[in-house]
Each structure stands twice: as structure tokens, then as C-alpha cells.
Amino acid sequence: MRRRLVTSVTAHIVMLLTTVLPVCSAQEPQVQCGVDRARVYEGESIIYEVFVRNVESPPEPELSGFEGFRVRLLGAIPQNSRSVTIINGRRSEDNRFGTVFRYRLQPAEAGEFVLPAPSVEVDGTTYRGNSVDVSVIPPTDQEIVLLEVSADRDSVYRLQPFTVTLKLLVRQLPGEYADISPLSVQRQARRPNAAITVPWLAEQLNDDVTSDQPLGDIVNPIITSSSDGIYLNDLAADTGFLLSRRKAVFQPRSRVVKKRLKDGTSASFVEYTIRRRFQATRESRIEFSPTAVKGVFAESVTDGGSLNAMEVFAVSNTLTVDVKSPPAADRPDSFTGGIGQFELTAALSPDNASVGDPLTLTLTVSGRGTVDDIRPPEIERVAGLAEQFRIYRPSEKTLPGGKVFTYSLRAKTADVEQFPAVPFAFFDVDRESYQVTRSEPIPVTIRDAEQLESNQIVATSPQDSASALTRNESGLFANYPSVSSTAPLRWLPRDWLLLWGGMSSVSALLAVTLRRRKKLQSNPQRQRRRQAHSRALGTLTAAGDRSSKQRFEDMARAVTGLVADFTGQSPDGLTPGDIGLCLAQRGVSSQLQQDTVRFLQECDAARFGAESAGDAQTTHCRALLEQLSRELDQ
């Protein structure tokens, strides 16, 4: 009997290949391509990998002819591995280095496709990979499982909340099975639970849309300890045994509804519903990718009373929501970009001054909405204000939930009894109309500027110097024997402009710096990154009092949590391979990537082996956390 012994030492899983090219010389650049599966349903996605071998830091491959797929680069993973194979006593080695470019492909339609060979240019020479065959299977023609995705609004204004609703409708079981959940059929058929993929239930969304509902607030209430339910986005849950995890099972809220079938008859369906609230951040068309469900469901009842099971793959519609800016019609002159709901308050200091004295006007906009987009109110448009006051360009400062504008003023006339109300218009997304709020008028006393008579100017020098009183264009001066002696005190208009420009520049720079600092401090992702290192060390320190296998689990959790905090991901379900991809996307050195993945793999292996965790492993983990923190923080 022929025996085959294979030993392999690798830092990463390089790729899942359906087509493997012959191994060329180690020095010859080579391009290998493959997919994680060659048959997929329409609406699913596949992982496509291009391995540029024997090239250090190659450029991204040129992909052309992929029009039937949505293509998204997931990352570039440096590779450095050595494989030793012994067959019938003959030993062979395979050393490989290069970079794996990983893409996610989502087919737009069903059919048979050939993914064209990509090309990579290295030192002026173009190298091509291999083509890959992919079969995209259309959804099952059935009326057992239906998916509907809808929004409560087809079009919204920026920051106007809207809710997306998913309805999973499963045909109610017939006869004596009517009271049984249709999601329990998988267990009776000894098949895995049905799985549903909802792209917009991801923790990370794109830049055009945000949600004030964390993913946990949506999925935690519908998770179940029962085996009857459905898998959702491959989310995992703790099993309660040695901190191990398994796929979570969910039971969304349900009710029985009637649906009309294609033949005109109606049937009863169990309707499972999931909702999430969103807000659009800028004018665009938001496209929510289709939801897909795959699994075994009951089709009918046999004569013997048992259920007939059917493999089903169903895809929902693609949902689009148009996001528009406030209308130009009926837009007030006092609108400066505010969208939401705001209030305006004003303060003037001092409120008792002479003509020409400097005054400070502070306008504070507070509320909720597009704070960053609000421009300074144009107070010179207020009736009569420009005739009463000289107005200088304002400075601005952004605060949590508001903005402060500071104006410098000088009164031109004493005929002022109050500073008038300043209007501020904003677009109210709830009322879908412009609203105008006004600050309160401020009582103020302005006096005429004081003028000195010639007999009010007293010289301090002896009497024989009194005749030295001189006059120049800037005013009266005493005790100067000549006009030339007053030259150092004369400021030209150019000097005033330079001084004022410098002060304005410094004020603007300080305002921008403070605004950026406040924005960064209020960014929850930044706060998470800042606390990542201390949180990881806390997890590692807590491992000291636990059993050996639990210490390995805690060390893996510390490393995984650190990387997840820095990259803005949920640590749940991250594998060593996922961690390697995250580190590659952040530009971490290839050696540190390999060390981290190898350490996590060793922790996973040790949890189920006989190895014990000692001080050496803890010290190594602490050093790894320090090195990861330094590189990720860059």
C-alpha cells in the first residue's frame, strides 16, 4: 500500500486554487490565480486571489474583462513560506515568496463565466496568470422562501432618518406541522441551519450612510439558545465552555401573514422581520446590496406524514435610496448650510461703549445636524446693521453639538439703542422645510467719542517748553520739540493691515487647530485606538490567575482585540488568517505579520493540547503587543 507523508510549515494559508500552474524556477516571476469555490449562487460573493510569486513588492495586478462582477480589493498579503513533501521516500521542497492580492467578487447575473487572466508588469516585462472558470447559479425557482427589502422612504434629505426593513417569509408548514417553526426543519433533516447574509447589518458601513443603532442592539435581542433558528452573517456567540465560540442562532420576531402566489392562490407564510435605522451623510444614491438566504426548507408532506425537504437559495431585491440636498426654492437669505434642528443665541461685550470702541459679538449655534457645514451668518444683511457698525470677518469654533462665531465690531454712530436680532435659517428634515430662528435683541448704549479741547492738554515739561506743542495727522502731542521726533509713533495703513492680517491668521489657525482636536477627541474610533494597548494589557494581566489553557485563550484574545481596536473591527470570529489580512492592510511589516499569525495559531493549538502556558509565553505575548502597538499606531 502506497503511503504519502506531507509536512508543511506555512505562515499563512496562501490560497484555495481550482487551477494550479506548473512550478517554475524560483527566480522566474509567476502569477497564479484561484477562487475559494467555482460554483456560487447569484447574490453570493467569492474570494478571488492572485499570487504574484518570486517578486518583492509587486504592483497591483491589472484586472480587465470583469464587467459581470463587482470587484473590491480586500488587501495585499506578503507571503514567505517553505513546503517539504516526501512521497515514497522522495523529498521535494517548494520555497515561495511574493504577495497575494485578495479580491471579493460579486456576480451581477447568473451564467457560466471565465475570469480572464490578470497581468502584472515587473521590470518592464508583463506576466500573465491563468483564467478561472466560475459557474453562477440563479436563485431557486420556488415559492417556499421569499425575501423582501424595503425602506420607509424612497428619497431622503441629508441626515433625515430612514429605516430599512428585511422580511424573510417562509411558507408555513402544512397540516399537523402548522404549529411548528419552519426554521426547525433543518434539525429534523439533520442538516445545518439555514444561513442568511444581510450586507447592511455589518458593523462597518460606507462613508455615505451611518447608523445610530449598534449592531449588538439589533442582533442581541433575537439570539436564541435553541437550535431552531437561522444563521446571520456568520456571527458567533460564546458557548460558555472555555470561552469557545460557535455560530450564533437567531430567531427574529415573527408573525403569520397571507401572500398571493404566482398562480393567484394565497398561502400562509411565517414572516420574520429585521430593521435598522440609517442617516445619509451626503448627497448621493445609496445602494443596499441584496440579501441572500440558503438552506433546507420543507416543501410538502409525504403520504407517510413526513416532510419533504428542498434545498433553497433565494435573493432579495436591490434597494436604492436617493439622498438629496435642501431645495433651492424658498431658500432664505439667512441659510448658511445648517441641516437639522438648531437654535441661535447672541452676546455682545461690552454693551456700553463709545463710537469707535471695539466690541465683540458672539453667535452660538446649537442643536443637532450638519454642524461642520454651517457657515458664519452674514450679519451685514441685517437691516441697518452695516450703517450702524463696522463689521470685521468672524472667527469660528466647532463644539460638540454646535458652533461659535466671534465677530469684531465698531460702532459708527451713537444713534444705537439695541443690537438687532440676527436671523438664522436651517432646513428641518422632519418638517422638510426651511425654518428661521432669531437671536434676542441686545440693549446697548453707544456714546459719542470724547474730544479734547486744546486747553485740556497739559504739558509736563517746564514752561519754556510749552511752545513745543506740535500737531500731525494722527493727533496732538505735547512736549515734542520737532515733527521728526514723532516719526516712530506713526503707523502707515500698510502696517495696520499687516498687523490685522497676522492677528486674523493666528486666530484662524487656533480655531482650526481646536476644531480638529475636538473632532478627533470626540471620534469613538480614535478613542478605541487610544485605549487599545491598555485594554490588551489588561486582558493579558487578567490571564495570570487562570488555568493554563485559559491563559492561552486570554493571550489570543489580547492580541486579537488589539488588532481589532486599531482596525475598527469586531474581534468576534476573527481567525489568525483574518488578523494577518488586517495587519497587511495597515502596512505592518511582513515579519511581524508572520510572528503574530504564528503566535495565534500556537495559542489555538495549545488550548486543545498538553502544552502549558508559563511566564515565557506571557512575556512573549507582552512583547508582541508592544511591537504591534508601535507599528499600528503609525
Mean pLDDT of 34-40: 89
Which of 40, 36, 35 shows the shortest CA–CA distance to 136?
40
- Is residue 18 over pLDDT 80? no
More confident residue, 362 or 20: 362
- According to the model, what pLDDT value does residue 8 have? 33
- Is residue 117 over pLDDT 50? yes
pLDDT in tens, 331-344: 898 998 888 889 99
Two domains, one topology: 4-137 and 338-448: yes
- Is residue 455 over pLDDT 70? no
Confidence of residue 213 (pLDDT cuts 50, 70, 90): confident
In whole numbers, what is the pLDDT of the chain averaged over residues? 80
Mean pLDDT of 439-463: 70
- According to the model, what pLDDT value does residue 308 have? 81
- Is residue 511 over pLDDT 90? no
- Is residue 10 over pLDDT 50? no
More confident residue, 264 or 471: 264
- According to the model, what pLDDT value does residue 522 have? 58
Q: Backbone phi, then psi, for 375, in 5-degree steps? A: -95, 165
pLDDT in tens, 150-192: 999 888 888 888 999 999 999 988 777 888 888 887 766 677 8
- Domain chopping of the chain, boundaries: 4-137, 145-324, 338-448, 454-481, 526-633
Distance (Å, whole) CA 307 – CA 302: 6
Distance (Å, whole) CA 32 – CA 19: 8
Mean pLDDT of 320-329: 88
Mean pLDDT of 404-413: 92
- Is residue 12 over pLDDT 50? no
Task: List residues bridging with 28 in a β-sheet.
Answer: none
DSSP structure string for 74-92:
EEEEEEEEEEEEEETTEEE
Distance (Å, whole) CA 149 – CA 291: 8
pLDDT in tens, 522-571: 566 777 887 888 888 888 887 766 666 678 888 888 998 899 888 887 77
- According to the model, what pLDDT value does residue 290 have? 87
- Is residue 294 over pLDDT 60? yes
Distance (Å, whole) CA 211 – CA 220: 17
CATH number of this structure's domain 4-137, picked from the four choices 2.60.40, 2.40.30, 1.20.120, 2.130.10: 2.60.40
Mean pLDDT of 304-321: 85
Mean pLDDT: which of 128-132, 481-485, 588-592 is highest? 128-132
More confident residue, 273 or 285: 273
Q: What percent of the chain stands above pLDDT 70?
A: 81
CATH number of this structure's domain 338-448, picked from the four choices 3.40.50.300, 1.10.10.60, 2.60.40.10, 1.10.760.10: 2.60.40.10
- According to the model, what pLDDT value does residue 277 have? 92
Q: What pTM did the predictor assign? A: 0.52
Distance (Å, whole) CA 539 – CA 432: 49
